[in-house]
Each structure stands twice: as structure tokens, then as C-alpha cells.
Amino acid sequence: MSDECLVCRAPLEYLESDEMMECSICGRQERSKTRCVNGHYVCNECHVEGMDSIVSLCLNERSKNPVEILDEMMALPFCHMHGPEHHVMVGAALLTAFRNSGGDINLEEALKEIISRGKSVPGGACGFWGACGAGISSGMFVSIISKSTPLTGKSFGLSHKMTASSLSKIGEIGGPRCCKRDSYLSILSAIDFVRENFAVEMEAPKVICRHSQKNNQCIGRRCPFSKVNNVNEDMFLCSA
């Protein structure tokens, strides 16, 4: 199993209230509830260092399957088992598959926007905000493709409905968190949502999750993607 602190590999702990933390890598100070049991803190910027590499990956990607694209991003060195990078990657994978499936967007500009928006959602939002960043990322995706703003009508509603759909799926399972599981759930929700509301068909073949052995909090058989719980070929499968 993987340890979780990026500095010393010790387990993380979550505090009852925000404290001023100093990043053990860059020295940046910011308020957070999260640190490792040895007192190390890694800021969001350091946690996602190297994430801009997804832009070139996505611009050169031709797959119509957002899960396949997401898995390619998850294999890059910057991506950890858990972390705020997932708050960007879900939306980036969806934007790329949407474009490749016939969606009319400027992908390069859309990717810059999802990175800017996704990076503003901090790690731990799932537990502290009641809104997983992966689910929020799917709503950001719909907001971008529908050109939603606080003053628009239909697109405003669609982006909220997308986020609500993803969060509902995540909430049905409960915790503890798994950034991989929540990312897959959000993408599954978005594939159906886009088909129904934008008439764009993205691909979603069966996928086997290979991350459970890296997750100290894997819920095993309680996970709806657990291999032992699934016989439906259309479901995501987990190696747990």
C-alpha cells in the first residue's frame, strides 16, 4: 500500500479547523486542514506540479473515450493516488473526448480554462465542502462547452444539473474518498448527460481500475466497481 505524504510518505491527518501551514516543498503559506502526522504540508500548487503537461497530451489525443484519456493522464508522473489534480483531469478528459466526438469547441482555449478553474478547488473539498472536486470538474466542463456565466439561462441550469448528477453518484457510495473512483463516476455521469443534452456521443467501453492497490482507504467490495461485485459488462470494474 502507498503512504500519502509527498515529503516523508507518512499518513495524512485532517484537523477540525484551518491552520496556517507552510509548504514543506516551496515555503508558500496558506490555510489548510490537512497535513501529515509528522507535520509536513504540501500546498496545492506543489501537489499539481507538472500538470500543464496534460495540454499537449489532450491536443494530440484522438480518442472519443474520456476514461481512456483520463487513464493516460493518471499515468503521468505528476498524478498521485489522491489530490487536486483530479479536479482538472476529469474536465480535461471530457473536453478532449467531446471535441473528438464532434463537439464544437476550441480545445486549447477550453483546456486552459479548465486548468484555471479546476486548480481553484482545493484538496479535501470532498470532505469539507460536501462537493467532490471531480464532480465539480464535470460541471465546469459543461459550463465551458455551453458558455455558461452567472447571467446565462439554460447553460447555467445545465452546468448545475451536471454537477448535481455527478455528486449524487458519489454521495450514494459514501466515503472514505477515492479520487479515482469519484473521477470515473463523474465521467460516467457526464457521458450520459452530454448524450441527452448535447447530442454528442462519447465512447465508454468497459474499463478495469488498476489503482486499488495504491489506495490505503480502498473500500473493496463496497465499491460499486469492485470486480467481485460486477458481472455487467457495461459497468466499470475495479481490481479490488
Q: At residue 234, does pLDDT exceed 50?
A: no
CB neighbour burial string for 170-196, b if at least 16 within 10 angstroms, e if fewer: beeeeeebbbbbbbbbbbbbbbebbee
* Alpha carbons 39 and 51: distance in angstroms, whole number: 25
In the predicted model, what is the mean pLDDT of the chain?
Answer: 89
Q: Give the tens place of pLDDT for each residue, 55-79.
A: 999 999 999 999 999 999 999 988 9
- Confidence class of residue 5 from pLDDT cuts 50, 70 and 90? confident
- Confidence class of residue 233 from pLDDT cuts 50, 70 and 90? very low
**Which three cell numbers, joined as nine digits, stand for 134?**
471531480
Question: In this structure, are residues 198 and 103 in contact, taking their beta carbons and an 8 Å threshold?
Answer: yes
**pLDDT score at 139:** 98
Tell me the mean pLDDT in the region 86-91: 97
Q: Which residue has the higher pLDDT, 129 or 44?
A: 129
Quote the longest CA-to-CA distance of the chain.
51
Question: In this structure, are residues 42 and 24 in contact, taking their beta carbons and an 8 Å threshold?
Answer: yes
Tell me the mean pLDDT in the region 95-103: 97
* Domain coordinates in residue numbering, the chain: 12-45, 50-204
Tell me the mean pLDDT in the region 81-99: 96
Angle formed by the axes of helices 86-100 and 133-145, nearest 10°: 40
Q: Give the tens place of pLDDT for each residue, 191-228.
A: 999 999 999 999 987 767 778 878 888 888 888 777 76
- Phi then psi for 77, rounded to 5 degrees? -60, -30
- Confidence class of residue 18 from pLDDT cuts 50, 70 and 90? confident
Start-to-end C-alpha separation, the chain: 13
**pLDDT score at 98:** 98
pTM assigned to the model:
0.88
**pLDDT score at 235:** 46
- Confidence class of residue 4 from pLDDT cuts 50, 70 and 90? confident
